[in-house]
Amino acid sequence: MSDSLRVAVIGAGTMGNGIAQTFAMHGHSVNLVDLNEEALERGMSTIRRSLERFVRKEKLSAEQSEEILGRIQPTTDLAGAVGEVRIAVEAVFEREDVKRGIFEQLDKHAPSGAILASNTSSIPITRLAAATGRPEKVIGMHFMNPVPIMKLVEVIRGNRTSDETLAETVRIAEGLGKTVGVARDYAGFVSNRVLMPMINEAAFCLYEGIATREDIDTIMKLGMNHPMGPLTLADFVGIDVVVEILDILYRDFGDPKFRACPLLRKMVEAGKLGRKTGEGFYAYD
Ligand code: 3HC
């Protein structure tokens, strides 16, 4: 285990709670920040359920699970939460204006030497860094869902990120048991620039009647040895998230190859957002 750090994670949703859990599982003290108690309670109960899975699999003891929970401090006070941190990781939803507002706050309240990282899946880091007075300390730390299980952290170097910040971030990520892939700062980086067109094309295959949803998923899952077919994965990621990322790719590159499939947009309008709403390409209990 690496040295124990004081860390803040901003946003207790799917990614934020997974990131907080992962830091705590590696001995770090985490302040988990969200706007209200309900969001924090939802985040903490997801963490409890995930830790229970590790206990059931005998990968953690019940005592270790309690210790990990004890290292996570939920709070609605962002300024207080970041006052003494070495690194703050922002993981709120993909709206640039909201993220920029948070980076302004982080810059104001976090120690001057602290790293300010974003878990953004597609918004350029350089634009978030511009909202701060320390762009050399701002970096992308893109975790994958489910965060406690997935091995990758995609680290994104903004235009003004320093070598020291990059090296320290890689060290921190590796200390979490992750493997790092470094990408330059263009929309979607590598992961979503490659993944989202695949999901989009799978949606077009369904939209154009090329194959059933099951056949599309079977072909890609067994044919390419992927753990999930692309439509199942879209439900897992969230159809709204898929459309948001495609829209950012489309806007930033101005390239029609990133045009979101109309079926995906229709699903968002209908509230069929995937697992989180109980229905997407498939229905869930
Ligand atoms: N917490 C704790 N343990 C978990 C967990 C969680 N949240 N989710 C899964 N697990 C564990 C299970 O307990 C199980 O443990 P075991 O190996 O000891 O038995 C193991 O993970 C596998 O889970 P399951 O048996 O339930 O099911 P699968 O074998 O299908 O694995 C999966 C589930 C890991 C989600 C796998 O299907 C998978 O890897 N899917 C693809 C995920 C993926 O592509 N993620 C990236 C999405 S893109 C993204 O995040 C970027 C963003 O910007 C959009």
* Torsion over CA: 222, 56, 25, 275 (sign): positive
What's the gap between Cα 58 and its chain centre? 27
Contact between 196 and 242 under an 8 Å Cβ cutoff? The reply is: yes
**pLDDT computed for residue 26 by the predictor:** 98
pLDDT band at 65 (very low <50, low <70, confident <90, very high): very high
In a mutational test of the pocket of ligand 1, which residue from 45, 46, 53, 55 has the highest number of ligand atoms less than 8 Å from its CB? 53
Residue nearest to atom 23 of ligand 1 (CA): 149
* Torsion over CA: 164, 167, 170, 172 (sign): negative
Catalytic residue positions, numbered: 121, 142, 154, 192
Q: In the sheet where 29-33 sits, what is the strand order?
A: 72-75, 29-33, 6-10, 87-90, 115-118, 138-143, 152-157, 179-184
Q: How far is ligand 1, taken at its centre, from the CA of residue 26, in Å?
A: 19
Is the shortest distance between the CB of 199 and ligand 1 below 6 Å? Answer: no
Average pLDDT over residues 41-59: 98
Average pLDDT over residues 206-226: 98
**pLDDT computed for residue 2 by the predictor:** 58
**pLDDT computed for residue 15 by the predictor:** 95
Residue 260 tokens, joined: 């979101």
- Tell me the per-residue pLDDT of 218-246, one tens digit each, with 9 for 90 and over: 999 999 999 999 999 999 999 999 999 99
Residue 122 tokens, joined: 């597609």
**Can you list the domains of the chain with their CATH numbers?**
6-184 (3.40.50.720), 193-276 (1.10.1040.10)
In a mutational test of the pocket of ligand 1, which residue from 19, 22, 49, 149 has the highest number of ligand atoms less than 8 Å from its CB? 149
Residue nearest to atom 21 of ligand 1 (CA): 149
Percent of the chain with pLDDT over 70: 99
pLDDT band at 135 (very low <50, low <70, confident <90, very high): very high
**pLDDT computed for residue 122 by the predictor:** 85
**pLDDT computed for residue 94 by the predictor:** 85
Q: Tell me: pLDDT of 115 over 60.
A: yes
- Tell me the per-residue pLDDT of 154-186, one tens digit each, with 9 for 90 and over: 999 999 999 999 999 999 999 999 999 999 999
**pLDDT computed for residue 3 by the predictor:** 83
Residue nearest to atom 43 of ligand 1 (CA): 145
Q: Tell me: pLDDT of 24 over 70.
A: yes
- Tell me the per-residue pLDDT of 144-153, one tens digit each, with 9 for 90 and over: 999 999 999 9
